[in-house]
Chain A
Amino acid sequence: MIKTAKDTTRRLLDVHGWSGILLGLALYVVVFTGSIVVFIHEIGVWSVSGEKMHHALALNLDTKIEQLAEDVPEEYFEDVNIWQNAAGYLVVFFHTHFKEETGALTEKGVRFTIDPTTMEVVNRQEGTSAELPIDYTGYLVRFFLDLHIRLHAPGSIGLYLTGILGLVLLVSSISGLILHRHLIKDMFLSPRLSSRLLNTRDRHNLAGTWSILFSIILAFTGAFYSFALTIGLPVIAITAFEGDQQKAIETVLGTPAEPDMTPADFIGLGHVIDLVQQDEAAGSVPFFIAVEHWGRADAVVSTIHSADGVSLSNSTHQFNGVTGEYLGEKPALGKEPSLGNTLVELMGVLHFGWFAGLLSRVIWISLGLATCYVTLTGLQLWVQRREESRAWRQMARLLAIVGYGTPVAMCTAAMGFILSYASYPELVKEWTIQGFFAGVILSFIVGLLFNDRVKRGKAFQWFLGAILIILPLVRLVSGEQSWLQHWQSDNAVVLGLDISLLLSGLISFAFASGLVGKVTFTKDHSSISHRSEAS
């Protein structure tokens, strides 16, 4: 219990409440999408009804890449990146870097997409990063990530916005910690049923108490990722490097080695992949390969590997591109292991939750949804205390629209993607965006149709349940394989996500029908004092 003066408590309560009410809905959208993107790789595979092949980078790709190189201008040998897209196709991108008129560094080159089962080139595209068409297979993933990272706002504005929302969550968590006078005493207090208001307060306090530490971690790491490049690096450059951003970047990431343009035979990816799979190196197949200066004496191969629980972060291993010598593991920051690098890696571990497979992801999505619950119940509490006012009743309506509308719109965006990917892949961007807005509009219609709070809540639960059940059926009809075939072809992730969506829909129906979550209060409304709300 933290003792504070009465005036301080009131001011803290104002900060806690108003910061929440002004930005709480946007914060909810960011946290909810963040919880979902914990499973972004699985969503990517599911959205295209399964991968063509797992670990295609373990195949012997040298002959194919040499063939492709014959069709590529030599200037694009500066960097060759190889990865698998969401559908499992191999993507090989020969490219160079140049500065645009605006001063921004961009890439230009030739991008091949290859079917890993036949090694046939599916397409060849050439141009700058802006000119190259989007990768259809990963558009839903990109849409969800952009929604979480920048709320689809242009440029740095989105990052500033989500960074500010991270700070709002941090302020709300810390002020909530100070405001909650009986933090320890109430840790096992199940929400009381005496009145709706008291029940909401108990639900908010209970979830807030238990998740407070995690909320602070999420908020801090999220704000760090938003502000690190937009504000952090320029500030460091100004203060420590007299405004020289290039020098700052080189200090942080390491100075590039002296170039050696002498032509030299490339050692071959097969050799590198064999070496990196040994326990002395990464011990696994990479998900991304980058070859710097392909065909030159200073060629370096970097392989990037997923975290596997032993290694908590993605790891990068480097090899000499001519001799094949293992150069060791490269830290994310600098060239040598450092405390700064460890701290940055730890931020990633704590924010993303990708470090130990399915279990860590399940824990992180649960905690993310718990934070959403705290945000929504906090907003509910604020508007319930003021529902005598018409304006605040409209706020309660908006709360329901955004609360249920966010998952609805994400599902309809996914439907738009799936339907267009199956029939008109070149239109995935338009259909995904239109699908999202269709979900938003439908949510507003449902929200505006019902004035009664209880009926509105039930209507949304039926609606969300229906959308969650329809989505996997749409995917099943659009995909080429049955559930059994997915299971047999090692694409159980597709089956798993379909079942998760169906179950979520049924749970929503159970709430809507009153089968679960039915609560009867001894009185529907009671006023609790401002002071008691703070406790």
Chain B
Amino acid sequence: MNIELMTGLSLVVSLLALLFLRQTDPKRRRIYHLPKWDKKRFSKLAWLVSLTPGPILLIVEAYAPFIMWFAAYSFLGWVIALPKPAAESNKLN
């Protein structure tokens, strides 16, 4: 598997887990007056899934994809957290 594909797949896994964490984040939902997340949150599992590509890439000795995933993970997290929930953003404006 080539470097770009491995990095991309790892980031997709992290992206999905981080999106789930964002959607279920209690403080974000409270501040933006979104309905409380009633279902179980599985936050530890979601964090674990989001970080899992790192050790896997290290185990298969894919060092370049690991470093790129590690660096892009923080940027990805910021980009995911930055947008306001659409409905509440409209209400505030």
Q: Tell me the A191-243 residues at the B interface (CB within 8 Å).
A: 191-193, 206-207, 210-214
Q: Are B71 and A188 in contact (CB under 8 A)?
A: no
A203 to chain B minimum Cβ distance, whole angstroms, is 8
Q: Are A189 and B78 in contact (CB under 8 A)?
A: no
* A34→B32 CA distance, assembly (Å): 37
Q: Are B75 and A363 in contact (CB under 8 A)?
A: yes
Q: Known contacts A193-B89, A359-B7; is A312 also within 8 Å of B27 by CB?
A: no
Q: Tell me the B1-59 residues at the A interface (CB within 8 Å).
A: 3-4, 7, 21-22, 25, 27-28, 31-32
Q: Known contacts A189-B27, A190-B82, A210-B74; is A520 also within 8 Å of B93 by CB?
A: yes
* A188→B71 CA distance, assembly (Å): 18
* A360→B80 CA distance, assembly (Å): 20
Residue in contact with A189 in the complex, picked from B4, B28, B74, B89, CB distance below 8 Å: B28
Mark each residue of chain B from 65 to 77: 1 if its CB lies under 8 Å from any CB of chain A, else 0. Answer: 1011001101101
Task: Please give, as numbers and ranges, the residues of chain A lying within 8 Å of B74 by CB-CB distance.
Answer: 210-214, 367, 370
Total A residues in contact with B, Cβ cutoff 8 Å = 34
Query: What residue in chain A is nearest B72 (Cβ atoms)?
Result: A363
Task: Please give, as numbers and ranges, the residues of chain A lying within 8 Å of B72 by CB-CB distance.
Answer: 363, 366-367
In the complex, the number of residue pairs spanning A and B with C-beta atoms less than 8 Å apart equals 90
B78 to chain A minimum Cβ distance, whole angstroms, is 4
Q: How large is the interface on B (under 10, 10 to 19, 20 to 34, 35 or more residues)?
A: 20 to 34
Task: Please give, as numbers and ranges, the residues of chain B lying within 8 Å of A188 by CB-CB distance.
Answer: 21-22, 25, 27-28, 80-81
Task: Please give, as numbers and ranges, the residues of chain B lying within 8 Å of A191 by CB-CB distance.
Answer: 82, 84
Dominant secondary structure of chain B at its interface with chain A: helix
Q: Known contacts A360-B68, A370-B78; is A190 also within 8 Å of B32 by CB?
A: yes
Task: Please give, as numbers and ranges, the residues of chain B lying within 8 Å of A207 by CB-CB distance.
Answer: 78
Task: Please give, as numbers and ranges, the residues of chain A lying within 8 Å of B82 by CB-CB distance.
Answer: 190-191, 206
* A487→B14 CA distance, assembly (Å): 35
Q: Are B28 and A355 in contact (CB under 8 A)?
A: no
Residue in contact with A185 in the complex, picked from B27, B63, B84, CB distance below 8 Å: B27
B79 to chain A minimum Cβ distance, whole angstroms, is 9
Task: Please give, as numbers and ranges, the residues of chain B lying within 8 Å of A343 by CB-CB distance.
Answer: none
Q: Does A69 contact B (CB under 8 A)?
A: no
Q: Are A193 and B92 in contact (CB under 8 A)?
A: yes
* A210→B73 CA distance, assembly (Å): 9
Q: Does A532 contact B (CB under 8 A)?
A: no
Q: Known contacts A310-B64, A355-B67; is A189 also within 8 Å of B31 by CB?
A: yes
Residue in contact with A206 in the complex, picked from B7, B68, B81, CB distance below 8 Å: B81
Q: Known contacts A188-B22, A193-B93, A522-B92; is A367 also within 8 Å of B71 by CB?
A: yes
Query: What residue in chain A is nearest B11 (Cβ atoms)?
Result: A363
Q: Does A399 contact B (CB under 8 A)?
A: no
* A187→B83 CA distance, assembly (Å): 13
Residue in contact with B78 in the complex, picked from A192, A211, A309, A350, CB distance below 8 Å: A211
Query: What residue in chain A is nearest B81 (Cβ atoms)?
Result: A188
Q: Are B68 and A356 in contact (CB under 8 A)?
A: yes
Q: Are B83 and A312 in contact (CB under 8 A)?
A: no
Query: What residue in chain B is nearest A190 (Cβ atoms)?
Result: B84
Q: Are B31 and A192 in contact (CB under 8 A)?
A: yes
Q: Are B81 and A187 in contact (CB under 8 A)?
A: yes
Query: What residue in chain A is nearest B26 (Cβ atoms)?
Result: A185
Query: What residue in chain B is nearest A366 (Cβ atoms)?
Result: B75
Q: Are A189 and B3 in contact (CB under 8 A)?
A: no
B89 to chain A minimum Cβ distance, whole angstroms, is 7
Task: Please give, as numbers and ranges, the residues of chain A lying within 8 Å of B84 by CB-CB distance.
Answer: 190-191, 193
Q: Are A214 and B28 in contact (CB under 8 A)?
A: no
Query: What residue in chain A is nearest B29 (Cβ atoms)?
Result: A188
Q: Are A187 and B77 in contact (CB under 8 A)?
A: yes
Task: Please give, as numbers and ranges, the residues of chain B lying within 8 Å of A189 by CB-CB distance.
Answer: 25, 27-28, 31, 81
Q: Does A364 contact B (CB under 8 A)?
A: yes
Q: Does A42 contact B (CB under 8 A)?
A: no
* A386→B78 CA distance, assembly (Å): 28
B10 to chain A minimum Cβ distance, whole angstroms, is 12
A470 to chain B minimum Cβ distance, whole angstroms, is 29
Q: Are A309 and B27 in contact (CB under 8 A)?
A: no
Query: What residue in chain A is nearest B63 (Cβ atoms)?
Result: A312
Q: Are A206 and B71 in contact (CB under 8 A)?
A: no
Q: Tell me the A248-278 residues at the B interface (CB within 8 Å).
A: none
Q: Are A359 and B27 in contact (CB under 8 A)?
A: no
* A189→B22 CA distance, assembly (Å): 8
* A193→B92 CA distance, assembly (Å): 7
Task: Please give, as numbers and ranges, the residues of chain B lying within 8 Å of A356 by CB-CB distance.
Answer: 3-4, 7, 64-65, 67-68
Q: Are B81 and A210 in contact (CB under 8 A)?
A: yes
Q: Are A363 and B68 in contact (CB under 8 A)?
A: yes
Q: Known contacts A188-B27, A520-B93; is A309 also within 8 Å of B3 by CB?
A: yes
Task: Please give, as numbers and ranges, the residues of chain A lying within 8 Å of B83 by CB-CB distance.
Answer: 190
Q: Does A186 contact B (CB under 8 A)?
A: yes
Q: Tell me the A153-199 residues at the B interface (CB within 8 Å).
A: 185-193
Q: Closest 10 interchain pairs by CB?
A: A210-B78, A188-B25, A309-B64, A356-B64, A309-B3, A188-B22, A190-B84, A210-B77, A188-B81, A193-B92
List residues of chain B with CB under 8 Å of any chain A CB. 3-4, 7, 21-22, 25, 27-28, 31-32, 63-65, 67-68, 71-72, 74-75, 77-78, 80-85, 89, 92-93
Q: List 9 A-B contacts (CB under 8 A).
A: A188-B25, A189-B81, A210-B74, A309-B3, A312-B67, A357-B3, A359-B7, A360-B64, A367-B74
Given A186-B27, A213-B74, 20 new contacts (CB under 8 A)? A188-B21, A188-B28, A189-B28, A190-B81, A191-B82, A193-B89, A206-B82, A210-B77, A211-B78, A312-B63, A312-B64, A312-B67, A356-B3, A356-B4, A356-B67, A356-B68, A357-B3, A359-B3, A366-B75, A367-B71
